[in-house]
Chains A and B, each alone.
Chain A
């Protein structure tokens, strides 16, 4: 497999504008004749479908939810970064680029990240024009807050519901295109396979989740914007329906998968309460602006937090990282929380938690200020735990939240299958080994509004695409495969529920391929995953039928794919003999316990190609060339 990232030449700051000068254009008359399939209607997919509709393409957008407005981007709380420098605090496009590259532990592509920072400002402009009610100062101008991993204040926000407002903005623009007749939305429709004809992505096979009908939809290009795969861990902050199926099916049809082991475990989530737990709830990282993280100094100290005197508390982030303190990046904060709990200093039921204490901030600023900043988050915490965080410190613990890995894409966001583009969290491109807060919304919207509308044209103008219909032989055979798989899942009729198998997979992955990994652990995990996969295919019970709404069947198909992905994640983590960002191999750490990169051997992207059938996947690498920044050990001290 040849990997050509197609990064344009020239100085870093000029690459994108120079490329835009050279990109081929599709004439307005021809755009009408081009049909584009978009899978997923979150920030990346919704924005792409809307922007492509505005250009005049015929777009069909698919989502598994009952409405395009419900994609999981909606749950993002904290904010969206942009290099506006409205605060006059020294921010520039270069600084946003640099912080993102550094935050990603020098494992992302310079040119992609620079472009992301470059288009960030246009995103804010567009969102305000859409009517997104971002927070404002009393003079009527936009407000900003600061976020982990940055020393400037560049995050735009709408209360604690920034993702909701941005998604509803994209949904509104999508609706305008539905009204204009350019976009058709197909809700309650799940992509179950990719159609590749003559080496090009030409369509998808979907299942109508209400009628069970399996259908093929063909087009001139396919865009996957289907999010991440944190639900491989069963318990995560993702919505219950989030899944890897679309990109995994594409992987099995030839799209390469990059850095599957790069996952982000978010530091500020509400700890698990019991065995029945179905998901974990994230509390925005912005809380770390005013909250102080601590655990008791003494191992096994079970006193109530209020009974532990100041001198017997360990504000460990402030102690270890005096310059960034509680605002260290997510991977650093998570790892330190785990370490404190592993040492026996954890708090709350099960002792898997640390305190996030607002007493000082309330004393300094008054309760009303804290309420204005975080009121909805505090309410949410109280609703879930029954505890009042204005009075007692919150308890938090890390939870799987985001996956930096995803399908490999070049600078044009095209995968290794021509005509298959991958946007947002589903691709691997911009966050390296760790994503900074408020960067996911930025990337999703950058890809959808401001990158794909340009780069897609280059592909369409340059490709000779023969007309294909849904009756094409390849379409028919992929439909038959999907139907056979559904029938197989329904026929097993074993003794274990989908959830019980998924939960077992999740616990295994969290232990062995979560916040810290070891070679023996990963090796053993691969064997266990294989045997769990055998149990699934011989003993799962999927009740009901295929020809109506069957939520267990939907889950079963997704878990089957997570069971395959999990093995690839472990393989990837096993071969990356270094620690970087969210990937922490215990064998590779500094004397102080920080991640120890191996730039000599691993300044690269690991790219996996499906081996075909049961053959092992083939490993490739894309070397990362740093022309502008010089990788150093990340220090937040």
Chain B
């Protein structure tokens, strides 16, 4: 089939950037979206032009590297997939397709469709973990966990950190991402000791970055390739409120 692509080209962060138009003559319906771009890039190189830079790695929807807007929707219109898993059978001959990078203040553009998502890492550094020294764990079966809780935790733990939620939120909020980690760890017995501190640190770190706040628009949930529920945001708010309103826990134990 034939396609017309309008692709955002931007040489570097300082460049203003603009859309460029490419006509594709012979796109197979079995191709993945990224394979379609691969073929275009091979043509561009042959013509002496620079290929379109886009992030990708595993190409099976799990590493979270890829992601851009396809006709204004993060990862395209198919539900529950990343753009590397989007196949061309969902397009038809003559379609015009607009491709542009994540647009969010917290994700500056590096080049073409590649953005800087290091703000996510900084939030995780602040508290997205359970502190456990290697070698100190009890037997794995020491603490039973209901299947209900573990499956619910897994629903949140599936987050791949792609950034589609931020790019789709009118406020550029990272709350689905942060809420997913807080909910994942907060649903497990192992996550309880640091639960309050984690919520406080991660929310504070999030607010230090250029993310906006949640206004329950729910665009994040609608585009999330792992279909993560905004109930994670509610859990985050609950944990955060509890610690923020109560103030720091008083030190216990004898002072010497």
Instruction: Please determine whether chains A and B interact with each other in the same assembly.
Output: yes
Which A residues touch B46, using CB under 8 A? 497, 541
Which A residues touch B221, using CB under 8 A? none
Give the residue of A75, A137, A173 whose beta carbon is less than 8 angstroms from that of B132: A173
Say how far A560's CB is from chain B's closest CB, in angstroms.
17
Q: Report the Cα distance A115→B247, complex, angstroms.
A: 48
A/B interface sample: 6 pairs, CB < 8 A: A75-B62, A125-B137, A133-B184, A172-B130, A278-B35, A549-B111
Say how far A557's CB is from chain B's closest CB, in angstroms.
16
Residues of A in contact (CB 8 Å), total 82
Asked if residues A187 and B38 are in contact (CB atoms below 8 Å), the reply is no
Which A residues touch B118, using CB under 8 A? 66-67, 187
B59 at the interface (CB under 8 A from A): yes
A-facing residues in B113-147 (Cβ within 8 Å): 114, 116-118, 120-121, 124-141, 143-147
B60 at the interface (CB under 8 A from A): yes
Name which residue of chain A comes closest to B55, CB basis. A66
Count A/B pairs, Cβ under 8 Å: 214
Asked if residues B185 and A240 are in contact (CB atoms below 8 Å), the reply is no
B50 at the interface (CB under 8 A from A): yes
Give the residue of B34, B42, B65, B111 whose beta carbon is less than 8 angstroms from that of A70: B65
B-facing residues in A339-355 (Cβ within 8 Å): none
Asked if residues A130 and B190 are in contact (CB atoms below 8 Å), the reply is yes
Say how far A259's CB is from chain B's closest CB, in angstroms.
26
List residues of chain A with CB under 8 Å of any chain B CB. Answer: 47, 50-51, 54, 65-70, 72, 74-75, 84, 86, 121-122, 124-142, 158-159, 161, 163-165, 168, 171-173, 175-176, 178-179, 185, 187, 210, 239-241, 273-274, 276-279, 281-282, 379-380, 383-384, 386, 449-450, 453, 497, 499-500, 541, 543-544, 548-549, 551-552
Asked if residues A173 and B56 are in contact (CB atoms below 8 Å), the reply is no
Give the residue of B58, B116, B150 whose beta carbon is less than 8 angstroms from that of A134: B150
Say how far B1's CB is from chain A's closest CB, in angstroms.
14
Q: Among A51, A126, A127, A133, which residue has the most Cβ atoms of chain B within 10 A?
A: A133
Say how far A137's CB is from chain B's closest CB, in angstroms.
7
Name which residue of chain A comes closest to B86, CB basis. A383
Name which residue of chain A comes closest to B43, CB basis. A497
Asked if residues B190 and A129 are in contact (CB atoms below 8 Å), the reply is yes
B12 at the interface (CB under 8 A from A): yes
Which A residues touch B21, using CB under 8 A? none
Asked if residues B154 and A159 are in contact (CB atoms below 8 Å), the reply is yes
Give the residue of A84, A125, A179, A282 whose beta carbon is less than 8 angstroms from that of B125: A179
B179 at the interface (CB under 8 A from A): no
Name which residue of chain B comes closest to A67, CB basis. B121
Give the residue of B45, B63, B125, B137 whose beta carbon is less than 8 angstroms from that of A175: B125
Asked if residues A187 and B121 are in contact (CB atoms below 8 Å), the reply is yes
Say how far B177's CB is from chain A's closest CB, in angstroms.
12
B61 at the interface (CB under 8 A from A): yes
Which A residues touch B138, using CB under 8 A? 125, 129
Main SS at interface, chain B: loop
Asked if residues B58 and A66 are in contact (CB atoms below 8 Å), the reply is no
Q: Report the Cα distance A57→B53, complex, angstroms.
A: 37
Q: Report the Cα distance A126→B158, complex, angstroms.
A: 19
Which A residues touch B32, using CB under 8 A? 278, 384
Q: Mark B193-224, 1 if CB is under 8 A from A, else 0.
A: 00000000000000000000000000000000
List residues of chain B with CB under 8 Å of any chain A CB. Answer: 11-12, 28, 30-32, 34-35, 38-39, 42, 45-46, 48-51, 53, 55-65, 80-81, 85, 87, 89, 110-111, 114, 116-118, 120-121, 124-141, 143-147, 150-151, 153-154, 157-158, 160-161, 184-185, 188, 190-191
Asked if residues B59 and A239 are in contact (CB atoms below 8 Å), the reply is yes
Asked if residues B140 and A84 are in contact (CB atoms below 8 Å), the reply is yes
Give the residue of B59, B110, B111, B126 whose beta carbon is less than 8 angstroms from that of A278: B59
In the A-B complex, the 5 residue pairs with the smallest Cβ-Cβ separation, listed nearest first, are A140-B144, A129-B137, A172-B129, A125-B137, A239-B57
Q: Report the Cα distance A41→B49, complex, angstroms.
A: 34
Asked if residues B81 and A131 are in contact (CB atoms below 8 Å), the reply is no
Which B residues touch A66, using CB under 8 A? 55, 65, 116-118
Give the residue of B85, B110, B125, B158 whose beta carbon is less than 8 angstroms from that of A549: B110
Which B residues touch A164, using CB under 8 A? 62, 158, 160
Asked if residues A383 and B87 are in contact (CB atoms below 8 Å), the reply is yes
Say how far B15's CB is from chain A's closest CB, in angstroms.
11
Given A66-B55, A175-B125, A386-B89, 8 extra CB contacts under 8 A: A65-B65, A66-B65, A67-B121, A129-B130, A131-B188, A164-B160, A450-B134, A544-B50
Q: Report the Cα distance A51→B137, complex, angstroms.
A: 13
Which A residues touch B129, using CB under 8 A? 130, 172-173, 175-176, 179
Asked if residues B140 and A140 are in contact (CB atoms below 8 Å), the reply is no
Q: Report the Cα distance A142→B131, complex, angstroms.
A: 22
Q: Report the Cα distance A173→B191, complex, angstroms.
A: 13
Asked if residues A68 and B134 are in contact (CB atoms below 8 Å), the reply is no
Give the residue of A47, A69, A126, A279 whose beta carbon is less than 8 angstroms from that of B137: A126
